[in-house]
Structure 1
Amino acid sequence: MEKILVTGADLAPPALELLSGYELVFAGKTPTEFDVVELCKMHNPIGVIVRYGRFGRSAMEAAPALRAVSRHGAGVDVIDLDAAKALNIEVRSAVGVNAAAVAEHTAALLLACAKSTVQLDARMRDGHWDKSTHKSQELGGKTVGLIGLGAIGRRFARIADAMDMKVIGYDPNARDLPEYVEKVSLEDIWKRSDVVSLHCPLTDSNRAMINAQVLAKCRPGVIFVNTARGGLVDEAALLEALRSGQVFAAGLDSFAQEPLASDHPLLKEPSVVLSPHIGGVSVDTYVNLGLTAANNLVGMLAAAHR
């Protein structure tokens, strides 16, 4: 029986049923790149579903039978696309499937930053009652600048518009935007936004795009949210901007290195709200991502057999 490698510990039951004609090999909850290479050598899978970790050239070359790689998610920066092309391996991702989950998580992080909900919860548990001293930020009437206007960015734009926020966005490829989204330049994003939120893929050209120079251009007291990719942000520069007050607060769901190191300074910064890259994870999304990834893989393998 032909084998499929899953770089994770599980798949949703409907996806397992769809792949019942193959022998599935699971890499576990936190597979390293070395683990994945060794499993490819051992099992020579015909297809791979990438959930966690990186899937690079070494893994591809370790599996001569490999014909298709399916991403259990939207971002393909963890897959070596150049190597896949050179080795004639097709790659597809589950674009847009987790848009609602990520957009809602973006809103949750933004509200937590503006309303200091995490800090107030901690204060109350320590016996404090800050009713007479705390003042939260109101988001209605404020401008939110979105970098990336794909499925997730547009979904969050709807949420922001419903909160009476002015929505501006940068995306060179965006077309047919809703009337409540104003398409602007990156310079306009920095100069006009009270909130900046990232919704773009990570590429070589935009790595560390949020750096000291960019943060200095932003409005003093800006709120920053990243539910995209950690590599988009110079974390040291963001920390400095938070400590100086240039950035009021940050909501972060992705990081340059994951998992976040136990001694990372972000963990001690009180004006940061953190989550472990789970913006796209929900009960519904888990099933839909699994089904889409499995369907994509089956389709690619069927085409490869023709």
Structure 2
Amino acid sequence: MPPIPVLIAGDHFVTCGLVAEHLRATVGEAVEIRELTLPWPYTPFGPVAEVDEASGSEDELIAALDGVRIAVTQMAPFTERVLAAAPELRLVVVCRGGPVNVNIPAATAHGVTVRTTPGRNAVAAAEHTVALLTAALRQIPANHAGLVAGEWRSDLYALEHCGDELAGATVGLVGYGAIGSRVARILHAFDAEVLVHDPYADPATVTGRPVDLPELLASSQVVSLHARLTPETAGMIDAAALDRMRPGAVLVNTARGGLVDYPAVARALHSGRLRAAAFDVFDAEPLPADSPLRTAPRVVMTPHLAGATRQTAIRAARLSAEAVAAHLAGEGPDAATTAGPVAAAVNGRR
């Protein structure tokens, strides 16, 4: 049997070379590898036609997909137009937790299975969450900036300026998937008390105390968000939710920017209702020049980098190669879904 054409539409994070290396190690000569390098992250991702968080153009992807049966990508825009122009295509593996750059109804209509690599950045995102959390509690970036500017703030030992410890603190986690559950395990090592709100989590598997959202907001010294962005969760931390939080609490978001009303957060920081906040994701990215967060006090921010580790890229390449191998072995979407870390099937073949 001749090798099956596979397009790797890589970028400068999950690179073509990295995916090709894992594909060759996993399926050997069963595939003929073709490569297309997309400009992300040197060029920001964004919407392309009807899909979001995509990189590259429909036209270049259509040209690269000529005769291709399997595609592996992190950011390529698999729109209705692209899928309609690729009649040989049967599998798209998206090297991320959610296929926001793929038109799933169109893929289903064209008989294309879409798989993802859930958990690929769980370690990185969990570690980054705790790093942001501790940086916000102790105001490390502000103290560093002051020292670089020539200040020596011994007055920060004054009780009113001191930070807080994680040991003994109550930390509420909204969402208990691959990232939230790992954050919980790390926090337990700090001797923090962990509360969890996730209506879809099995209480028997939760490392912490399951509670409803109002109790979590009212009881937690730190609230950390790890929920998916859905119509139900969009804007869940709004002005009313902030008012239900403990005075002087800390808010952390490394999940999705759409979960939070950021102008309301900025007001809460200015008023002192929130003691501090830490964010890696925003409702508009890149962060607009007029964002109220830029002038808010006691906020720690990073530019959507929680998953940016070498290990995340390697893990994404390995999981995507395993998903291709499962497809070539004839395993259906159900098998992929139940195969643990291999990949998750988003849809099935027609």
Q: Do the two structures share a fold, i.e. TM-score over 0.5?
A: yes
Question: Aligned equivalents of 1:247 and 1:78: distance in 2?
Answer: 35
Q: Identify the match of residue 181 of structure 1 among 208, 212, 218.
A: 208
Q: Quick one: structure 1 residues 48 and 157, their matched pair in 2 at CA, closer, same or farther if it must change by over 3 Å? A: same
Q: Which structure 2 residues correspond to residues 69-80 of structure 1 after superposition, within 5 A? A: 69-80=92-103
Contact 2:20–2:33 (Cα < 8 Å) also in 1 = no
Question: Aligned equivalents of 1:61 and 1:281: distance in 2?
Answer: 33
The amino acid of 2:15's aligned partner reads L
Contact 2:16–2:35 (Cα < 8 Å) also in 1 = no
Are 1:8 and 2:19 counterparts?
A: no
| Count of residues in Structure 1 that have an aligned counterpart in Structure 2 | 306
Question: Aligned equivalents of 2:165 and 2:71: distance in 1?
Answer: 46
What is the Cα deviation at residue 81 of structure 1?
A: 2.9
Contact 1:12–1:286 (Cα < 8 Å) also in 2 = no
Question: Aligned equivalents of 1:36 and 1:295: distance in 2?
Answer: 27
What is the Cα deviation at residue 123 of structure 1?
A: 0.7
Question: Aligned equivalents of 1:11 and 1:96: distance in 2?
Answer: 18
Q: Which structure 2 residues correspond to residues 1-306 of structure 1 after superposition, within 5 A? A: 2-6=5-9, 8-9=11-12, 10-11=14-15, 13-19=17-23, 21-29=32-40, 30=43, 31-32=45-46, 33=48, 35-44=56-65, 45-52=68-75, 55-133=78-156, 134-175=161-202, 177=204, 180-300=207-327, 303=330
Single out whichever of 111-120 and 211-220 deviates more from structure 2.
Answer: 211-220
What is the Cα deviation at residue 157 of structure 1?
A: 0.5
Bigger CA radius of gyration: 2
Contact 1:37–1:62 (Cα < 8 Å) also in 2 = no
Q: Which runs of 4+ in 1 moved over 6 A?
A: none
What is the Cα deviation at residue 233 of structure 1?
A: 1.4
Question: Aligned equivalents of 1:265 and 1:83: distance in 2?
Answer: 38
Question: Aligned equivalents of 2:76 and 2:63: distance in 1?
Answer: 18
What is the Cα deviation at residue 154 of structure 1?
A: 1.1
The amino acid of 1:127's aligned partner reads G
Single out whichever of 261-270 and 165-174 deviates more from structure 2.
Answer: 261-270
Q: Quick one: structure 1 residues 238 and 76, their matched pair in 2 at CA, closer, same or farther if it must change by over 3 Å? A: farther
Contact 1:114–1:136 (Cα < 8 Å) also in 2 = yes
What is the Cα deviation at residue 226 of structure 1?
A: 0.9
Contact 1:77–1:203 (Cα < 8 Å) also in 2 = no
Q: Quick one: structure 1 residues 53 and 115, their matched pair in 2 at CA, closer, same or farther if it must change by over 3 Å? A: farther
- TM-score, with normalisation over the residues of structure 2? 0.79
Identity %: 35
Could you tell me which runs of 5 or more consecutive residues in structure 1 were left unpaired when the two chains were aligned: none
Single out whichever of 286-295 and 23-32 deviates more from structure 2.
Answer: 23-32
- TM-score, with normalisation over the residues of structure 1? 0.89
Question: Aligned equivalents of 2:77 and 2:232: distance in 1?
Answer: 20
Single out whichever of 27-36 and 142-151 deviates more from structure 2.
Answer: 27-36
Q: Quick one: structure 1 residues 59 and 214, their matched pair in 2 at CA, closer, same or farther if it must change by over 3 Å? A: farther
What are the Cα deviations for residues 114-152 of structure 1, in whole angstroms up to 9, with x where unaligned? 000000000111111112334112222221111111121
What are the Cα deviations for residues 255-300 of structure 1, in whole angstroms up to 9, with x where unaligned? 2222223443323333221112121221222211121123224433
Q: Quick one: structure 1 residues 51 and 14, their matched pair in 2 at CA, closer, same or farther if it must change by over 3 Å? A: closer
What are the Cα deviations for residues 221-264 of structure 1, in whole angstroms up to 9, with x where unaligned? 11111111112112222222222222221111112222223443
Contact 1:170–1:189 (Cα < 8 Å) also in 2 = yes
What is the Cα deviation at residue 71 of structure 1?
A: 2.3
Q: Quick one: structure 1 residues 173 and 118, their matched pair in 2 at CA, closer, same or farther if it must change by over 3 Å? A: same
What is the Cα deviation at residue 12 of structure 1?
A: 6.9
Question: Aligned equivalents of 2:214 and 2:57: distance in 1?
Answer: 42
**RMSD between superposed Cα atoms in Å:** 2.6
Contact 1:5–1:27 (Cα < 8 Å) also in 2 = no
